[in-house]
A and B are shown apart, each in its own frame.
Chain A
Amino acid sequence: MTENFSSLSADRIAYLEGLVRQGKTAAAVFTQFTQLDVDRIVKAMVLAGLEQAQYLARLAIEETRLGVLEDKAIKNMVATEFVYDYVRDKRSVGAIREFPERGLVEMAEPIGLIFSITPITNPTATVLFKCIMAIKTRNAIIFGPHPKAWRCCQEAVRIMYEAAVKHGAPEGVFTCLESPTLPDNVYLMHHKEVKLIDATGGPGAVKAAYSSGKPALGVGPGNTPVYLEKTAQLDMAVVDIITSKTFDNGTICASEQTLVIDDEIFDSVIQKFADLGTHICDAKEADLLGRTVIDPETGFMRPMAIGQKATDIARACGLRVKPDTKLLIAEIHGVGREHPLSAEKLFPVLSVYRAKSVEEALRVCIDLNQFGGLGHTAVIFSRNDEIIQKFSDVINAGRIIVNSPGSIGALGGVYNDMVPTFSFGCGTGGGNSTTDNVNLYHYLNIKRVARRTQAHMWFRVPNQIYFNRNAVENLRQFPSQSTIIIANPFLEQIGHVDIVRRALPPETTVRVLAIPDAEPEVKVVMQGVEALRLNKVDQIIALGGGSVIDAAKIMKLKYESPEADLEELAAPFLDLRKRVVQYPTGKINRVRLIAISTTSGTGSEVTPFAVLIDKERGRKVTLADYSLSPDVAIVDPQFVMSMPKGLTADTGIDCLTHALEAGVSIHASPYTDSNAMQAIRLAFQYLPIAYEHPRDEEARSMMHNAACIAALAFANASVGVNHALAHAFGARFGVAHGRANALMLPHVIAYNAAVPTKFMPSPNQRAYTAHKKYAVVADLLGLGGDTVAEKVQNLVAATEQLLDRLEIPRSIADLGITEEEFERAMPDLSKIAFDDPSWRSNPRMPLVSELVELFWCAYRGRRPAKPITVPEPVAAMEGSLV
């Protein structure tokens, strides 16, 4: 089949080209037809096919000398009536399926011209089936029938074509090769106007189709194993198998080939077959039968036997059987070439195997399946669901037919709800691209029209936030048997722990766990968890800055869910909703976490984040999950009145960075924008006062609120590239988080306001808006400026002025880090910053080279010489501040 077509005459080529031209034109014209048009034509064709079912069966028998007239007539009726029943209500033009909730519509696009090979075993039924499929899907077909069945196929095509054209189908929509030859097939398979090859035929035809380089549908060879398990309804099984195996003299490739029968029922099953007209071969007869119907050279069945009656086959073998014998059965004792009858037999001969156990039965079925039947069909008769399940697990077949006949069952629509077909996909096991019962959807290109969907968003915060002076008094309302206060020793010394202790209900047993005032290490966390266990704690009060509160969050996680693997939970992710690693939901302990912040920066009291120090790798590990959020937040300014100036500055800038990054984040929403903008306003107004006048209670209180409000924003909108840079730099050089943020901040504003090299994919953003949002901030702060660019410049300048007022070094060089040292660190810094999840919500996707440039800007304290070029014009983002 792989030979070339050089033997074709010029006349033959002209003939083939004529068919192609007709088919191509018909297919193109057909694209204009509506669903109503094709449905009208299909119905007319089906009625014509039904009318001529017996006539076509007779033609097929006369030409092929295979099969049974009555069964072929039934096949023709199934190929029309049953197929019509399946397709009649199916949409195949325009929108064929709609999923409004997902914004998806599937649209049908015809394939064009199909070259279809049809078999000798089911010639006319296959033609009828494919004609209906083609018209339903607005395709044209050139049929390449089996050379020994082309006349009956041509008649079937004529009947279908005349009915179709009479009802409006394009001229030339079906044609059929006259006196087809293998070179014809090869020529058409390689023709550029043939868009699909549908090869229902022998392995050679299928292989040629797939080898042509064209999209192809093909069937594979079968060797259907049947497991007759001891719980089966035997009378039903025996009748079904006889019905199936004798149907059209066994020409359907899904028909039963070998019965594997449990030992306990073997004899009675064989007797039932004998009672119903089956000849049971003895060993000598079985040997004779095997040598006659299977070619020992090839291991395949001999053509002389295909589709012949049992009595004729018996006669050919020299067996003496009764005249009414329907079926021949012969026992085999193994599977493979040395057991000829274990091969495929498309005639009424069944082999049987006696299995001593379920395991042996399954093993033999697997052997049969692998011996030429991969991906095709298998059958089981059983009432044991576990065994049916096991059989289905181990057998590789596109169709596993349960308690029903194999051949008629596989055709679909009669004994089960499978799609009716005359072409069985056999998957990769059979060298095919599908395991489906080939149907109208395989004759379509299905286009997915995907509308933009807006990912659902959220605004999740602790359900209780108490603020302003003496908010700590609210602790009285939380009953607890055993509370642990986690704080650093300094807070105990200055009496803050006592303030908390006094606010708790008197009956509460209170213990204090002192931990270092530094970002938590795993060792510290695990010591804390042990303390929680020992004291059977039901309430944790985290009193401190971000480090202490973060430590408490992780202690709570490990206390409630000891199996939680922190390393795994810190795995990177792109989208919180689709992350690979899920935080544990099963808890062996339950504990309330109350966070009381003693700095005005991190906002950790309301965020779902916790940062661990990974000393070995010199990096910070960020854990993020809403299950980490404290249950209660207390924002009481009395705990920040004594904050040192440097800490006030650093944490205050951390707060401002949170708000600015949340404001331009791709996850920003009207909910987070309102918080971000308010926090920015409060920080610009009150941070300098709190820094310069530490005892100013209003300034302290407002900055404390600002930190919490900014955190409400970034807890839901996340942060951005500023944090990615600061995390990497701070961990490497031991610089406080807020200060590290400060060093990057002016440069990042300028960076985000410029035209991005790469935009960040985000379905929730309708335009690039970072620069406009910065301009809104500038307006909010009254910074002036007429254009967006001027306003952004003014915001950068105001930020720099704020940093100057807070006496924060303006360059990394000012920290005493040498250029050589920084240069050496740069490969690691840029890599770690790029790995940091913080920038995933940045409006601009940073290139590694851009991270390097930003680091160097921060090192030198200068922005790039080029001015900020903001994108103009840009459409406004719906639902946002701009």
Chain B
Amino acid sequence: MTTDVVWIQEAVEKVKSAEGDVVLDFSSVRRIDSSVVTALEELAGMAEGRSVKVVLRAVNVDVYKVLKLLKLSQRFAFLT
């Protein structure tokens, strides 16, 4: 299933108030679309500004490849 962009936006809110790591569970995400890409870019920017580490957990390789192609992978940490 394609992930819901709202879910990422919730993570943005977490980042705003978080100290330390924020973990997003991608285990049920099969595919991402352009809106999710945009949301992740915003999330990464937000996290970098607050020195928060965002960890994406259980990202499948197809999604990982999208992040890699868009040079987004370097802005997140990954956890299997």
Contact = CB atoms under 8 A, between A and B. Distances in A.
- Chain A CB within 10 A, most for which of B30, B63, B66: B66
Contact of B66 (A22, A32, A171, A172): A32
B31 A25 contact: no
Interface in A18-48: 22, 24-29, 31-32
A354 B62 CA distance: 63
- Chain A CB within 10 A, most for which of B34, B62, B63: B34
Interface string B24-67: 00000011111101100000000000000000000000110110
A411 B10 CA distance: 53
A61 B69 CA distance: 40
- Chain B CB within 10 A, most for which of A27, A28, A112, A170: A28
Interface in A165-181: 170-172
A25 B32 contact: no
B79 interface: no
B62 A31 contact: yes
Nearest to A26: B34
Interface residues of A, number: 13
Contacts of A29: 32-34, 37, 66
A32 B31 contact: yes
A192 to B, nearest CB: 11
B70 interface: yes
Given A24-B70, A25-B70, A112-B69, A32 B37 contact: no
Contacts of A170: 33-34
Contacts of A172: 34
A27 B69 CA distance: 9
Interface string A477-520: 00000000000000000000000000000000000000000000
Contacts, number: 37
Contact of A31 (B30, B34, B35, B66): B66
Contacts of B70: 24-25, 28
- Chain A CB within 10 A, most for which of B30, B32, B33, B35: B33
Nearest to B41: A25
B37 A28 contact: yes
Nearest to B2: A32
A31 B31 CA distance: 10
Contacts of A26: 34
Contacts of B63: 32
Interface in A507-548: none
B28 to A, nearest CB: 15
Interface in A141-189: 170-172
A41 to B, nearest CB: 14
A30 to B, nearest CB: 9
B69 A32 contact: no
A32 B32 contact: yes
A21 to B, nearest CB: 10
A147 to B, nearest CB: 29
Contact of B37 (A25, A31, A112): A25
Interface string A442-481: 0000000000000000000000000000000000000000
A531 B62 CA distance: 76
B69 A171 contact: no
A29 B31 CA distance: 8
Contacts of B31: 32
A171 B38 CA distance: 12
A26 B31 CA distance: 13
A31 B65 contact: yes
A227 to B, nearest CB: 50
Contacts of A22: 34
B34 A171 contact: yes
A27 B38 CA distance: 14
Given A25-B70, A27-B69, A32 B34 contact: no
A31 B63 CA distance: 9
A28 B33 contact: no
A171 B62 contact: no
Contacts of A171: 33-35
Nearest to B31: A32
A170 B30 CA distance: 15
A112 B31 CA distance: 17
A828 B37 CA distance: 67
Nearest to B36: A29
Contacts of B62: 31-32
Contacts of A31: 62, 65-66, 69
A29 B72 CA distance: 13
B19 to A, nearest CB: 31
A7 B77 CA distance: 42
A28 B33 CA distance: 9
Contacts of A25: 34, 37-38, 70
Nearest to A33: B31
Contacts of A27: 69
Contacts of B34: 22, 25-26, 29, 170-172
A32 B63 CA distance: 7
Nearest to B67: A28
B67 to A, nearest CB: 8
A28 to B, nearest CB: 4
Contacts of A32: 30-32, 62-63, 65-66
Contacts of B35: 171
9 contacts: A25-B34, A28-B65, A29-B33, A29-B34, A29-B37, A31-B62, A32-B63, A171-B34, A172-B34
Interface of A: 22, 24-29, 31-32, 112, 170-172
Given A25-B38, A31-B62, 11 more contacts: A24-B69, A25-B37, A27-B69, A28-B65, A29-B33, A32-B31, A32-B62, A32-B66, A112-B69, A171-B34, A171-B35
Per CB-CB distance, the 4 closest pairs between chain A and chain B, nearest first, are A28-B69, A32-B31, A171-B34, A28-B66
